[in-house]
Structure 1
């Protein structure tokens, strides 16, 4: 199986939750939360992560509205993600992130690792969920492609 190194991002107006995956693309793990200051500073922090993780792709959660439309918040995420991908010279993929922050909060509560003051933990956990969904979809697609080729 080909090595995969992706960074999952939960982009917010104040912070970006970041997750990475194991080399074979099975498990996503929360890495950090980047507090957004200036775009240049953000890029420098991401460059370090990309180098450390040998990242080859950015997977960004896109906050569609509940009716599936791309509205203001999603457009802001797209704009930031596109600028970031260009600055890092990495390809970019989006995944629907509706309700990932709610799911992240619930997971942290169930693990007894939740504090309403630690929004960064929620962002990091949301990034983990985003990346795990992408990994699972990718694996399912690859499995079905291999299955269909063998028929």
Structure 2
């Protein structure tokens, strides 16, 4: 049972998948958004290729725990995914994941150009890892 994590943005969708045991998340790719149909078809291909059974979408909350316009867009996206792909879709608080990914890449001395290419899939991996860690702790 693999999980897929998504960092949904205006121009891109960062994609990460878990290992088969659901212990670790790896950044997979960044989808350059074009049309809703093409984006969904690419996600469908990844789901098929990796045997994904559940999806985790990052929910950008405000620091005071409220949901703003960007969060509402992600909620609508997750509902649409659930309807189109017929898989469970979970929302996961993604506050500060992009900042954390950026800091990690800076500490690794990754060039600005390379950071821009991988930041979204790294953020997706952090979202997915956070979700898996929280759920593995609740199962113990």
Q: Do the aligned partners of 2:102 and 2:115 also contact (CA within 8 Å) in 1?
A: no
**Partner residue of 2:38?**
41
Q: Distance in 2 between the 1:111 and 1:128 partners?
A: 17
RMSD: 1.3
**Partner residue of 1:63?**
60
Q: Distance in 1 between the 2:117 and 2:88 partners?
A: 25
Once the two structures are superposed, the pairs formed by residues 2-151 of structure 1 within 5 Å of their partners are 4-116=1-113, 118-143=115-140
- Work out the number of aligned pairs and report it: 140
1:109 Cα deviation from its structure 2 partner: 1.5
SS state at 1:24 partner: coil
TM-score normalized by the length of structure 2: 0.95
- 83-92 or 18-27, which moves further after superposition? 83-92
Q: Which structure 1 residue ranges, 4+ long, deviate > 6 Å from structure 2?
A: none
Q: Distance in 1 between the 2:130 and 2:94 partners?
A: 9
Unaligned runs of 5+ in 1: 144-151
Unaligned runs of 5+ in 2: none
